[in-house]
Amino acid sequence: MFNLFPEEPILLNLPDAEFIYYPNFFSKEKADLFFEILLNETPWQHDEITIFGKKILQPRLTSLYGNEGKSYGYSNIVMHPHHFNSTLTFIKEEIENTINENFTTVLLNLYRNEKDSNGWHADNEKELGRDPIIASLSLGEERIFQIKHNTNKEAKQSITLQHGSLLVMKKGAQIHYKHQIPKASKPKNQRINLTFRKII
């Protein structure tokens, strides 16, 4: 990806949807601090999900925060949100102010090593409305994020999500595309991802 102005957001060149990448949303110093706090202070849980009728442990740890006590369900699990803490509130407000959107809920993912992953999906649960906007902050180890169009085989992209970066998935992104974090073939350290969502 060629970018003359590394601080500028990058609009991915994909049809039918808007994906906007902010490579340096937070400085390294801020991102380091948030990573340490969230790694140590989050009540990480390891859930069983049901896929094709089989129960398996999710290949990552998760935690859900929301201010309205609304539960959120996907892949046959129902998660009950914790109350927003000051770190998550600060991060949420920085994102909201930059992109002019509001969020109610954040799902945190902890990828412990290269074996952890998040398979192909769209965030299209009915609680999120018809065409949700999702803001996804990455902290810690870099991992590859893959995007593919549901019907147009040419429309796909892989992007490395760097420490302190923000990827905003806007209109069309959950309707026309799926995304995933594949397992990595080389050893990886821990990565935390925060996906801010609006439950309506």
Ligand X SMILES: O=C(O)CCC(=O)C(=O)O
Q: Which residues bind Fe ion (CB under 5 A)?
A: 123
Pick from Fe ion, ligand X, none: which does 109 bind, CB < 5 to 8 A by kind? ligand X
Q: Which is nearer to ligand X, 63 or 193 (CB)?
A: 193
* Residue least distant from ligand X (Cβ): 193
Number of residues written out for the chain? 200
3-state secondary structure the chain: CCCCCCCCCEECCCCCCCEEEECCCCCHHHHHHHHHHHHHHCCCECCEEEECCEEEECCCEEEEEECCCCCEEECCEEECCECCCHHHHHHHHHHHHHHCCCCCEEEEEEECCCCCCEEEECCCCHHHCCCCCEEEEEEECCEEEEEEECCCCCCEEEEEECCCEEEEECCCHHHHEEEEECCCCCCCCCEEEEEEECCC
Positions in the binding site for ligand X (CB under 6 A): 107, 109, 118, 123, 136, 145, 161, 179, 181, 193, 195
Question: Which of ligand X, Fe ion, none does residue 58 bind to, with CB < 5 to 8 Å depending on kind?
Answer: none
If the CB atoms of residues 37 and 182 are measured against ligand X, the closer one turns out to be 182
d(CA 192, CA 79): 18
Minimum CB separation of residue 181 from ligand X in Å reads: 5
* Partner whose footprint covers residue 193, from ligand X, Fe ion, none (CB < 5 to 8 Å by kind): ligand X
CB of 121 to ligand X, least distance (A): 7
User: At closest approach, how far in Å is the CB of 161 from ligand X?
Assistant: 6
Query: Cα torsion for 96, 101, 107, 110, to the nearest 10°?
Result: -50
- Could you tell me the two tokens for 182? 């594949």
- Nearest-approach distance from CB 4 to ligand X, in angstroms: 26
- CB closer to ligand X, 4 vs 155: 155
Chain residue at closest Cβ approach to Fe ion: 123
Nearer Cβ to Fe ion (30/162): 162
By C-beta, is 4 or 147 nearer to ligand X?
147
Judged by beta carbon distances under 5 to 8 A according to partner kind, the member of ligand X, Fe ion, none in contact with residue 107 is ligand X
